[in-house]
Each structure stands twice: as C-alpha cells, then as structure tokens.
Amino acid sequence: MIKVFLVEDQGLVRDAISALLSLDFNIEVIGQACDGQAALDHLSSLSNVLLPDIVLSDIEMPNINGIELSEQIAAKHPSIKVVIMTTFSRAGYIRRSLSAGVKGFILKEAPSEDLVNALKKVMLGQKVIDPELAINALDDSDPLTDKERKALKLASDGLKTSEIAKQLFISEGTTRNYLSDAIAKLNATNRIDAARIAKQKGWL
C-alpha cells in the first residue's frame, strides 16, 4: 500500500484527485493540505511510522509553493518522496523541481492512469518526468542566481527595495544590484517586467 499525502490549494481539484487515487487498491490518501505551510505543519505533527510514502503536490500555491515544500521535505523528512503536479509545462519548473529532489513531475491534464503509474514507479525508486518536458528543461536554463530570484520574487509581491533588503538581510544597495542584474539578464524594462518573464519561464 502506497501512502499518499495530497497538497493542492483548490478544494474541488484536491477532492477529485483524492477520489481518483482512492480507486486504486494499492494507494491510500492519508491526508490533505491546502498549501505547503499547512502540509509541513501536518507532517511535523506525525511520528515517523505515520509519515506518507509520497507527497503529491501542486506547484503554484499560497504561502509555500510546491518547489519550496519539496526542499523543506528533503531537509526534514528525507524518507518521503515528492511528486509534483501542475497545469503549467514550464521548463524552469522541471529544473528547480529536480534540484529540490523531486522524484516525479506530472501534468494535471495527463490521463489518470499516468498519474497512478507515476506514483507506483516513484515508489519503486524511479524518476518519472515527461521526456519532452525534460528536453525543454535542458534547453532553457535559468540565468538567475538564487539571491536574484529571491529579490525578484519579493519585488513581484509588491515589496519596496528597503523591505526586500530587510527580508533578505542585505543592504539596499545590494538589493538594487540584484534587481538590476536580474532585469539585465532577462532583457526586461523594470523589476515587474523581469518578474513577469521569470514567472512565464517557471524560474520564479
């Protein structure tokens, strides 16, 4: 029996996926969460015996997204395998997910049997990623550094330079440098335009 914990911010989608997975006799959905933070809080409350085998998570969610959740699970619960599902076939998501230790990347529009088979393969120790998406990920590399990405994400959330500096524990001058470098690398007109481009690529 494969124990799955489901993380998805849309209630109807979450319930539908849970019902779908429950149709397979080899899969048990042992819990659900509406975002990454709620998932981490729940996992932290469980003993090792009760932890899921797989966390099946969406990417774009409030508070903590799926990739950030994957990074924290790898650090705090290394026995748990993470599979990402999304409606967005963005190459940047693939690269960041793999770097975060994700074992599978599934598009939500894929046939239901593909999702079930992917979970079973991941449980056997395999990685499951759509070949076309994997090729796209190799061809479209993210030019941003981790610090530039963090500064740009905070800027896209509406934070001012001084507020970004406080969040990242750096000076305002360094913050402006990170944002300027990101704008230049993405051939953007300003920080908002740079954030838009990065989001479209799946880098943010």
Express each pLDDT in 68-103 by its tens digit. 999 999 999 999 999 998 876 666 777 778 888 899
Alpha helices in the chain, H assignment, sequence order: 11-22, 36-44, 66-76, 91-99, 112-123, 131-139, 146-156, 161-168, 172-185, 191-201
Equal fold, 2-139 vs 146-201:
no
- pTM exceeding 0.85: no
Q: Which CATH class is domain 2-139?
A: alpha beta
Residue 172 pLDDT level (bands cut at 50, 70, 90): very high
- The pLDDT of residue 156 is above 70: yes
Q: Which two tokens stand for residue 95?
A: 């690269």
Q: 146-201, what's its fold?
A: Arc Repressor Mutant, subunit A (1.10.10)
% the chain with pLDDT above 70: 92
Domain ranges of the chain: 2-139, 146-201
